[in-house]
Amino acid sequence: MKNCPDLATIISYSSGALSKSFALLVSSHIEKCGHCKKNIDRCHEMGGSFLEEIDNTELDTNSYAMFLDKLEVSKNKETQISEKEIFDKSSEVPVSLQRYIGSDLSSLKWSFLAPGIKKCSVKIDQKENKHLTFLKIKSKKKIPEHSHLGSELTLVLKGSFDDENGRYMAGDIADHDHTSKHEPIVTSHEDCVCVIATDGPLIFNSFIANIFQSIARI
Amino acid sequence: MCYIDSCAKKYVTMVEINKDFIKKFQAEKKKKDFEIIFNFYAPKIKSLLVRNGADVTLAEDIMHDTMINIWDKIHLYNPEKGSFSSWIYTIARNNRIDLLRKKSSQPYTDISEIDIPSDNENSQDIVERKSLTEQVKNAINLLPEKQRKVIELSFINDMTQDEIAVELNIPIGTVKSRMRLAYQKMKDNLKDITA
């Protein structure tokens, strides 16, 4: 894998401090990246080490007895719930995303966003209005130059695109924050399908693109 | 049930929860053995939750759920893949995300539950696997204070990069660079320790 998330993003993923949409993209990337998996393993060791070092908080009286009671209750529940999700590890859709979109990319319901660009928004949390944005972009199509108010992670699922930092292929992640500005262009012969997580709106550097963005709400 | 009162205040050390003990527990799954794991980790998990903003009642409740998960998933723990404490940490972290933050109505598939091989392990990695937590602890202690602080706020206080920036009154770019430096330094310290 050539393009991986920033180390700071990996650390935040390991500590559980990333939002759900960002965490989903990072775990999708790690499924195919042994290098990041190794970094995550080391970070988890840091978490384990901090856990061992943290001061104890006193438990309730008879805490272990209460735990054993709850354990019995959970064992009874377990026998009632036996349905298990089955994931397709050979799919182009990472296992981490399959719970939300299934294992077939072509089953996504695309809507027109701009000439050569289709969009599909997938809710990842029913309680809160959190979603992931999938984009399907035609070959040679350029996304207008933009920067970000917050952070943006883009995971390529199919095809490839280039920007100022290089080429992003399937499985790669582009990790941008408010300091970066980029103008991605699809370089694969096939459509490029990618999924984006942001924690702030994109800022396009042209007036027309800004009007477009206010309608598209990316 | 006499062991509940007599052992509740027993001081459990990591020495007791060694590889052989865990292997034995995985094979026999005795409640009496699990109590040793409970007595060591439960007060720490509760502490973590209280530091993340849970009141003591909620923290006790989530801690119990976490210990049930540990009981249920104990067969999945593989010492070749990492230390017992890091495995416990990831379970506690996931419960914290799902139950404490209540940001999610559906848990995400955690990477630790998907079997993904790391890059080919070299001899350095194999050495690292041995008593890794102890070495990582030493490596963290060697970090400069500013770098250690950002890592600690992330892992212990469950703070996002933005929240750390506000807490320490530094730009988010500085938070990120301190995190990167801390990781690299920790990795280098590990090499020094294992050399």
Whether residue B150 contacts residue B175, with contact meaning beta carbons closer than 8 Å, is answered with yes
Structural domain tally of chain B? 2
Q: Which of B116, B145, B175 is the last residue of a domain?
A: B116
For the purposes of burial, counting CB atoms within 10 Å of the CB of B15, is it exposed (0-12), middle (13-18) or buried (19 or more)? exposed
* Cβ <8 Å between A63 and B60: yes
Radius of gyration of chain A (CA): 21
Task: Say what the ipTM of the complex is.
Answer: 0.81
Instruction: Say if residue B177 is in the same domain as residue B150.
Output: yes
Radius of gyration of chain B (CA): 18
Instruction: Say if residue B108 is in the same domain as residue B126.
Output: no
Instruction: Say if residue B125 is in the same domain as residue B137.
Output: yes
pLDDT computed for residue B3 by the predictor: 40
- Adjacent-strand bridge partners of A181: A147
Whether residue A148 contacts residue A176, with contact meaning beta carbons closer than 8 Å, is answered with yes
pLDDT computed for residue A145 by the predictor: 72
Work out the pLDDT band at B193, boundaries 50, 70, 90. low
B8: contact with A, CB 8 A cutoff: yes
Structural domain tally of chain A? 1
Instruction: Say if residue B100 is in the same domain as residue B9.
Output: yes
Nearest Cα to Cα of residue A182 among A208, A204, A201, A160:
A204
Instruction: Say if residue B103 is in the same domain as residue B134.
Output: no
pLDDT computed for residue A180 by the predictor: 73
pLDDT computed for residue B167 by the predictor: 96
Residue A57: give its domain's CATH number.
Answer: 2.60.120.10
Q: Which domain holds residue A36?
A: 1-218
Residue B80: give its domain's CATH number.
Answer: 1.10.1740.10
pLDDT averages per 10-residue partition of chain A, 218 residues: 90 91 93 92 91 92 94 76 68 91 90 88 78 90 75 93 91 85 87 88 57 55
* pLDDT tens by residue, B33-77: 999 999 999 999 999 999 888 889 999 999 999 999 999 999 999
Residues B78-100 have a mean pLDDT of 86
Instruction: Say if residue B98 is in the same domain as residue B190.
Output: no
Instruction: Say if residue B89 is in the same domain as residue B22.
Output: yes
Instruction: List the structure tokens of A7.
Output: 């180390």
- HSE-CB at B89 with a 13 A cutoff on CA atoms is 27
Instruction: Say if residue B156 is in the same domain as residue B187.
Output: yes
Q: Which of B54, B89, B116 is the last residue of a domain?
A: B116
Give the residue on B whose Cα is nearest the Cα of A78: B72
Instruction: Say if residue B95 is in the same domain as residue B159.
Output: no
Give the helix ranges, DSSP H, for chain B.
2-8, 19-28, 31-51, 56-73, 84-95, 123-129, 132-141, 145-155, 161-168, 172-194
CA–CA separation, A44 vs A50, rounded Å? 10
CA–CA separation, B134 vs B125, rounded Å? 15
pLDDT computed for residue B81 by the predictor: 84
CA–CA separation, A148 vs A166, rounded Å? 19
For the purposes of burial, counting CB atoms within 10 Å of the CB of B171, is it exposed (0-12), middle (13-18) or buried (19 or more)? exposed
CA–CA separation, B154 vs B152, rounded Å? 5
Instruction: Say if residue B4 is in the same domain as residue B95.
Output: yes
A7-27: b (≥16 Cβ within 10 Å) or e: bbbbbbbbbbbbbbbbbbbbb
Q: Which of B116, B150, B170 is the last residue of a domain?
A: B116
Residue B151: give its domain's CATH number.
Answer: 1.10.10.10
Phi-psi region of B29 (alpha: psi -120 to 50; beta: other; left: phi over 0): left
Taking CB atoms and an 8 Å cutoff, what residues of chain B touch A64?
4, 7-8, 35, 38-39, 42
Whether residue A93 contacts residue A132, with contact meaning beta carbons closer than 8 Å, is answered with no
Instruction: Say if residue B154 is in the same domain as residue B143.
Output: yes
Q: Which residue is listed with tokens 């893949």?
A: B81
* Cβ <8 Å between A179 and B152: no
CA–CA separation, A204 vs B40, rounded Å? 53
Give how far A192 is from chain B: nearest CA, Å: 25
Q: Which domain holds residue B155?
A: 119-195
Helix (H, G, I), strand (E, B) or coil at B193: helix
